[in-house]
Structure 1
Amino acid sequence: MVSMGIGHGQRAVVIGAGVAGLATAALLGREGYEVVVVEKNEEVGGRAGNLEVDGFRFDTGPSWYLMPEAFDHFFELCGTSTEDELELKDLSPAYRVYSGPNDRSFVDVETGVDKVVALFESIEPGAGAAVRAYLDQASDVYRISLASFLYTTFSDPRTMVTRDVRQRLRLLARLLTRSLKSEVDEQFTDFRLRQILQYPAVFLSSQPSKAPALYQLMSHTDLVEGVRYPQGGFTGLIRAIEKQARQVGASFVMNTNVSAIETAPSRQRSKAVGVRVVNQAGEEQLILADIVVSAADLHHTETALLPAKLRSYPEHYFASREPGLSSVLVLLGVKGTLPQLLHHTLLFSKDWDPDFKAVYEGPEPRRPLGASESIYISKPSATDPNVAPEGCENLFVLIPVPADASMGFGSAYRQESPRVAAIADAAIDQIAAWAGIDDLRERIVVKKTIGPEDFADRYNAWSAGAIGPAQTLRQSAFLRGRNKSRKVDGLYYAGATTVPGVGVPMCLISAENVVKRLRGDTSGGPLAS
């Protein structure tokens, strides 16, 4: 039921129908706004897309269901529950790790503190006690972050300095001023254990040597809380979020580009009064609104949709920022079963420094294709019978690469570039060799790729980034920027390129933070549901 709240009788235009745009539409509708969502592509979901080819259904983006509290809270705000909207399956083991290139052995990672302790102790004597302490601290930091640093607009710094924060100022200062790599390397020696605790930095579009040690909290999400899978994949999750928006009356304008945010003078400032759009036929239209929420990429919003004088974040702001990583995605339909791979499988180079150097620092002689050899594979057909024809497997392969559109397109939507094709072929050969699937290439019946230029073209992603700006110290929390324009009243931001950060849960929280900003709520925690 729509409330007669702050938006009663007003219209909101939301730019972009990705996770943040859909969630924002759902929450604004419950605040009483009439919501119009404008999306440039043919389907909702944004990076959490969907591609169907010859009986295979591929998620084209996120695939890890972490931070269940964020999903639970969002659905509660919408007057429903996760249990009513999604069918979740626990993954056990949570994931498998291969360490190559010449060793086909693997480590299966179960979740739950006691199981993680047993695994670490079996690999490195003494590491069990160390990881128990590490995870206790990670869980503590996670709890504090939820209460003080995520569900906030940072409008009032006093809300961050809670009793819990004050009691841990020394700890938090240490974790903010050293890297995740330093924090982990100091406590563990075996390279496999170090990688299990450091790889979540990639989820943050960063690298272990640049991500603050505070992000050890990510280990709480996968190693303590566990990993789940929403039946129907993230496409099913997108449909559940879209459903919440439509139930409160949101309307959708698809295959339509926003060409400008329209403004008008107001009290010696400018105010957003709508958006100019262009449909597939080239017809231009003005959609009027009382507020505009851009869930599009922040760089695109500021530098392409606003005139220079109204930009809170002009081009020079981005010149000193880190766009994070891009990726080549390989979508494979494979005949027969692949027991060598779990639902989630990670291939990590024993020495992965060249991988990070190739992605984040420029040319690396040991990685001539300019791509990481530490890659991720999702096999949703292990859990979901509806993503592949009977007797076949569905593979999603993510290969980190530099945020550089010149690497080209993949074959999913455009003509595939030679470089993307070479990176995809190398990854297929790597999976075959490291996991012992010698006939993998011969069994592939469907192969589609997505390249960095696809992210720039389809999602207006800054520097063709696949996830969003890297979560380094200077690009985290209040240093990541505001979710409201400094120069245009009535213009707000949501999504992975603004606070609180990258990832599907963060996009849900960013939508809630727009509501908090509109209500004038400066508290540090989530809204009451």
Structure 2
Amino acid sequence: MTRAIVIGGGVAGLATAALLAADGLQVELHEARNELGGRAGTWEQDGFRFDTGPSWYLMPEVFEHYFRLLGTTAADELDLVRLNPAYRVFSEGHDPFDIVTDRAQTRSLFESMEPGAGAQLDAYLESADSAYRLALDHFLYDSFSTAAVLRHPKVLRNLPRLAPALLRTLAGHVEDRFHDPRLRQVLEYPAVFLGGSPFTVPALYQLMSHLDLDDGVLYPLGGMRTVVSALERLATTRGVRIHRGSDVRHIAHRDGAVTGVDLADGAHHSAQIVVSATDLHHLEHDLLEGAADKPRRRDRAPSSGALLLLLGVRGEIEQLAHHTLLFTGDWRANFEAITRSPGHLPDPASLYVCAASHTDPGVAPPGHTNLFVLVPSPADPLSGRGGIDGTGDARIERAADRVIEQISQWCRIPDLAERIVVRRTIAPQDFATDLRTWRGNALGMAHTLRQSAMFRDRNTVRGVDGLYRVGADVAPGIGLPMCLISAEIVTKLIRGDRSPGRMPEMTAAR
């Protein structure tokens, strides 16, 4: 029986392990920490439970397809609810407004803010939907081992539209069509989900607006940890042996092929296949010591970092929706502060707040609210560490105080600071230390032009047969759905399948 070892117990690692085990391989998964999930982590204290990473459930058809590969469905594994509103927006200097997943209502909202914007939105979303379907059918599930996808008639017909969408920025694309800054922000903010800025992310990613404005935003009751639990369950029931607290220090290889892994405790585990679901730089600079042909691209661009606040708050907070976005007036300056070198955390900052307890009372004690706050920041571990109850580095805690004050003022919650009973901060140094992410980035490699589609780092490693890569750093990219797709791409490659499409559903099930 072919033996495979997966390094890393995040979403991509667990998803890959389950698929390979379903294909009949003998699979071990080694996770350095005692907790599975990677960036999709969980933290609990005093009856509060927080997701510490992804909190938007988008692209439901990707989750459904993945589960069906293993003979189950999303409905069987998760308890999904649709959010209404999808999210609330506080744009500096303006009254808040809600985005609902209803084209007619959204069109009316856009038209009320800018005459003519309703019709423009229809055209924009039709184009976004077309781009999304094209990506889903022809690009996202492709390892780009061959040029077959580029010869497909539908792709060839769309090349005149695809090329300009790759060569200009999302901000430029949006700002040619809409003038009200609030509408621009609604259409440009998804760039943050891609680890970048609307002023650098290619316009092709307008497809993200199809997801929240047309497709809808779901939430799995119990939080995103239920996705991790489902993947763990699917893996273990198919025979995957999961080793927690098992730190892989070296990928062993001989004569251009992997032979297994060496652990921190000195043990060697042999395997014919090794799948790395770790940070790309950690793989190349630490785990692959001695591999002469390992890639060492120096021009990679990491995603932004993040300052995270996990706040347990006494009482209800009706001013916030499940998802709430705060946008600064000087939009460009906000992103320049984060992405330039040296960068700094803007003040005030564009930020995101998740009040999951609005939808899911089980994540907070009765009569309380749990808040997850994400503030994009420079990817710089020297900015410091976070901590519990104000024990993080002084500059991190001061920044958190300013963020709490901003939310309090903008969202009209005057006593917010006084009502906080649980507080934890997480900063770039925590990402670098705990998750071994390059420069403390929060999401993976950013989706710049040189790191998108066929230009993104591949799922194989040149010169080391049997070694594969999955996760947010490699194709197809950042986000939970992309990690599931990445797992499928690697499974296809191990099968010897270089085709660009999805695997037939149920074929992996046992």
TM-score band (shorter)? over 0.9
Cα distance between partner residues in 1 of 2:178 and 2:156: 29
SS in 2 for 1:489: coil
SS in 1 for 2:362: coil
Among 9, 12, 15, the alignment partner of 1:23 is: 15
SS in 2 for 1:14: strand
Cα distance between partner residues in 1 of 2:47 and 2:106: 38
Report what 1:5 is aligned to: none
SS in 2 for 1:150: coil
Report what 1:418 is aligned to: 394
SS in 1 for 2:267: strand
Among 348, 368, 379, the alignment partner of 1:403 is: 379
Report what 1:340 is aligned to: 319
Among 459, 469, 472, the alignment partner of 1:493 is: 469
Cα distance between partner residues in 1 of 2:126 and 2:332: 28
Report what 1:248 is aligned to: 238
Report what 1:297 is aligned to: 279
SS in 2 for 1:330: strand
1:78-477 → structure 2 map (5 Å cutoff): 78-100=70-92, 102-103=93-94, 105-265=95-255, 270-278=256-264, 283-314=265-296, 317=297, 319-363=298-342, 369=345, 373-412=349-388, 416-477=392-453
Letter in 1 for 2:259: V
Would you say 1:508 and 2:484 are equivalent positions? yes
- Tell me how far 1:28 sits from its aligned partner: 0.4
Cα distance between partner residues in 1 of 2:5 and 2:165: 39
Segment of structure 1 superposing worse, 176-185 or 409-418:
409-418
Cα distance between partner residues in 1 of 2:204 and 2:158: 12
Contact 2:390–2:397 (Cα < 8 Å) also in 1 = no
Contact 1:257–1:277 (Cα < 8 Å) also in 2 = yes
- Tell me how far 1:106 sits from its aligned partner: 0.2
Cα distance between partner residues in 2 of 1:499 and 1:312: 17
- Tell me how far 1:159 sits from its aligned partner: 2.3
Report what 1:62 is aligned to: 54
- Tell me how far 1:142 sits from its aligned partner: 0.2
Letter in 2 for 1:153: S
Cα distance between partner residues in 2 of 1:64 and 1:414: 27
- Tell me how far 1:158 sits from its aligned partner: 1.8
SS in 2 for 1:310: coil
SS in 2 for 1:320: coil
- Tell me how far 1:412 sits from its aligned partner: 4.8
**Long gaps (5+) in structure 2:** 506-510
Contact 1:370–1:402 (Cα < 8 Å) also in 2 = no
Alpha-carbon deviations, 1:68-117, whole Å to 9, x = none?
111000000011001111111100110000012x54x2010011322221
Percent of matched pairs sharing the same residue: 49
SS in 1 for 2:363: coil
Letter in 2 for 1:95: Y
Contact 1:371–1:402 (Cα < 8 Å) also in 2 = no
SS in 2 for 1:237: helix
Cα distance between partner residues in 2 of 1:160 and 1:126: 36
Cα distance between partner residues in 1 of 2:82 and 2:464: 45
Letter in 1 for 2:352: Y
Would you say 1:518 and 2:510 are equivalent positions? no
- Tell me how far 1:467 sits from its aligned partner: 0.2
Cα distance between partner residues in 1 of 2:367 and 2:164: 51
Cα distance between partner residues in 2 of 1:275 and 1:412: 35
Contact 1:159–1:522 (Cα < 8 Å) also in 2 = no
- Tell me how far 1:459 sits from its aligned partner: 1.1
Query: What is the TM-score when the length of structure 1 is the normalising length?
Result: 0.93
Cα distance between partner residues in 2 of 1:182 and 1:313: 33
Cα distance between partner residues in 1 of 2:371 and 2:32: 27
Report what 2:508 is aligned to: none
Query: What is the TM-score when the length of structure 2 is the normalising length?
Result: 0.97
RMSD: 1.4
SS in 2 for 1:38: strand
- Tell me how far 1:409 sits from its aligned partner: 1.2
- Tell me how far 1:308 sits from its aligned partner: 4.7
Q: Give the direction of change, closer, same or farther, for the CA distance of 1:131–1:24 in structure 2 (3 Å limit).
A: same
Letter in 1 for 2:5: V
Segment of structure 1 superposing worse, 353-362 or 131-140:
353-362
Segment of structure 1 superposing worse, 159-168 or 298-307:
159-168
- Tell me how far 1:525 sits from its aligned partner: 1.4
- Tell me how far 1:163 sits from its aligned partner: 1.6
**Long gaps (5+) in structure 1:** 1-8
Report what 1:3 is aligned to: none
Letter in 1 for 2:8: G
Letter in 2 for 1:392: H
Cα distance between partner residues in 2 of 1:521 and 1:371: 50
Contact 2:82–2:217 (Cα < 8 Å) also in 1 = yes
Cα distance between partner residues in 1 of 2:285 and 2:83: 42
Contact 1:302–1:311 (Cα < 8 Å) also in 2 = no
Letter in 1 for 2:321: L
SS in 2 for 1:168: helix
Q: Give the direction of change, closer, same or farther, for the CA distance of 1:372–1:287 in structure 2 (3 Å limit).
A: farther
- Tell me how far 1:416 sits from its aligned partner: 1.2
- Tell me how far 1:204 sits from its aligned partner: 0.1
Contact 1:20–1:495 (Cα < 8 Å) also in 2 = yes
SS in 1 for 2:155: helix
Aligned positions, number = 505
Letter in 2 for 1:93: P
SS in 1 for 2:249: strand
Contact 1:20–1:507 (Cα < 8 Å) also in 2 = yes
SS in 1 for 2:318: coil
Letter in 1 for 2:42: N
Report what 2:3 is aligned to: 11
SS in 2 for 1:482: coil
Contact 1:154–1:478 (Cα < 8 Å) also in 2 = yes
Alpha-carbon deviations, 1:131-155, whole Å to 9, x = none?
0000000000000001111001001
